[in-house]
Chains A and B, each alone.
Chain A
């Protein structure tokens, strides 16, 4: 009796086993498979729900980045425009001007290009590409290709007559170097470096270095502005988080107001305030703090950039800080006070640690 009772109970709660002793559900499918199926369905639903967002990110975020990375090394101009010339340059040692065979190949490339439809012609992109590397290359290619159909052998002479750059060995070195479908030249230039005659990467002339200094300046300014917004935003966010709701909302509107104002209006407002004949300078001169011919220059320079950017980015600092601080229960701070923490360290240690988590 007791045995049959136990088996009845088993049926009632679905704990059946099949011939191999595996657990099965009431309709006879192994429990493990049923569970797997249920799980898979849930996963598919979840995947279905995130698919639109995933697709959106792939198309509008990942794809453009990949494309941009690709463009930074993509180098079709020379390969497409001068296939015969590159073939002829294969054995050129780069020591002296190339021989007649190379110039004839160049002539053939230009004639072939001339016969193409305008929009398929490759000399224009080639001219632009080479002009990045050496000044006046654009003129050399565009002007030569316009009159190339009148050229007669020997072609070397004809090219040397057509433009002085065809007599310049550095142009030929560039053509050979850039005659590959991928290039590092853009990255080399972005780091203020260039190739020398031996193909080594060296620092550019002092008066043509731009990008490294600009990168440095950009990061420096970002850092300064981040610190400024933090210094101004932290107390506001803290104050907002401990105020009663009604007052906090009022203050919040004040924080958000710049968000709703056109960028143009905010910028113009700063011009009115900061310029040489502006409100601040006029006030300082009026108060006799500075003399009329020593007005402060606070705009159209770094000072102006930092002031205006700090203003514009302040809400972006206040809002995340506030959202995190709001979750720190007031009881924690009370507890800290109870344990003898003074207001200074209390907010610094407690809130900063919590804020880092946010």
Chain B
């Protein structure tokens, strides 16, 4: 009798537990990002702690950010949205937002305030929040050179990228017009703040391409962020342009022999958008609230040298999680690095990107 009762109690306990588990639905979130060291930093700063605190949430990484806009459009048109959260650039985010395929963000409603109570809309760096876009980092595209490629004098400016006489060798540039056209004009003597005024004119575009022509034969194009440091490490190229975080990772963590040239660094935001019509919008909003709070943004800087997009996070940036080196001097926004930055103009690229991408593709073909 007692034995039977035991069994009954046990089985009812088990079924109660099963019910409780079912009540807290399992959610699987597909987070699209840039892969490599960057996704790794998000994994450690955001995904892992969030999954530890919310056992019912599983986060799956998808390295699709290089084609985020095309992917969002295709999924929206097909009526089959499989991405839950997408890491993308603000220019593309603005286009997606205009097309209505990503959610509008009510910043103060959906994002965490700073620890001192400052609302999110005032805590994020000025101009960084978009209608549909929540920035997480400030990153920059920088020129990096391999000292072993040159005898004696080392390059220290963007002009040196275009100086084949003193600094011969292959150059790895990204296969898109953004950054390359800006640098061509900068190297041709245009001041950083005037670059877009020049680039808006047909003569300015011709001038930029003419400058790029001078190094055309020495260019290897890269498309994925991880390729640039790889080309440097393999000794394939003398210069490579690349994302500063990747370069930091290759130089400091993987001991690559290379030096970042901060002159003319092209500064931009990067952050999250939420596809409209996704299946897990509530769960994603909850996750994003967590992943963009002050502490989490500061945490990410422990794993990769991108600056947090919140003012309140700056003070919390400490040492690298594995290396123990101070991260502040490696931030693009550190005063020593921020002497001649070019701030990427997203409005310009949203308006003129279609045409310039065609022209750039044509130029690459020749």
Contacts and interface: CB of A to CB of B under 8 A. Distances in A.
Interface of A: 118-121, 123-125, 127-128, 131-132, 135-139, 142, 207-210, 213-214, 217, 271, 275-277, 300
A135 B236 contact: no
B351 A135 contact: yes
A133 to B, nearest CB: 9
Contacts of B350: 138-139
Interface stretch (B15-23, B94-102, B242-250, B280-288): B94-102
A277 B99 contact: no
A139 B95 CA distance: 10
B5 interface: no
Given A135-B351, A213-B365, 11 more contacts: A121-B100, A123-B98, A125-B99, A136-B351, A139-B347, A139-B350, A142-B98, A207-B363, A208-B355, A210-B361, A300-B236
Interface string B341-360: 00000010011101100110
A135 B98 contact: no
Interface residues of B, number: 26
17 contacts: A119-B276, A121-B100, A124-B98, A125-B99, A125-B100, A135-B354, A138-B95, A138-B98, A138-B350, A208-B359, A209-B362, A210-B358, A210-B362, A275-B236, A277-B234, A277-B235, A277-B236
A117 B351 CA distance: 25
Interface in B254-298: 276
Top 3 closest pairs, chain A to chain B, by CB:
A124-B98, A136-B351, A277-B235
Nearest to A140: B351
A52 to B, nearest CB: 22
A124 B99 contact: yes
B104 A118 contact: yes
* A contact patch SS: helix
Contacts of B98: 123-124, 127-128, 138, 142
Contacts of B95: 128, 138
Contacts of A125: 99-100
A300 B220 contact: yes
Nearest to A126: B98
A120 B358 CA distance: 30
B22 to A, nearest CB: 33
A118 B100 contact: yes
A209 B95 CA distance: 25
Contacts of B363: 207
Contact of B362 (A121, A207, A277): A207
Given A139-B347, A276-B236, A131 B362 contact: no
Interface centre among A119, A123, A210, A214 (most CB of B within 10 A): A210
Contacts of A214: 365
B356 to A, nearest CB: 8
Nearest to A120: B100
A315 B234 CA distance: 30
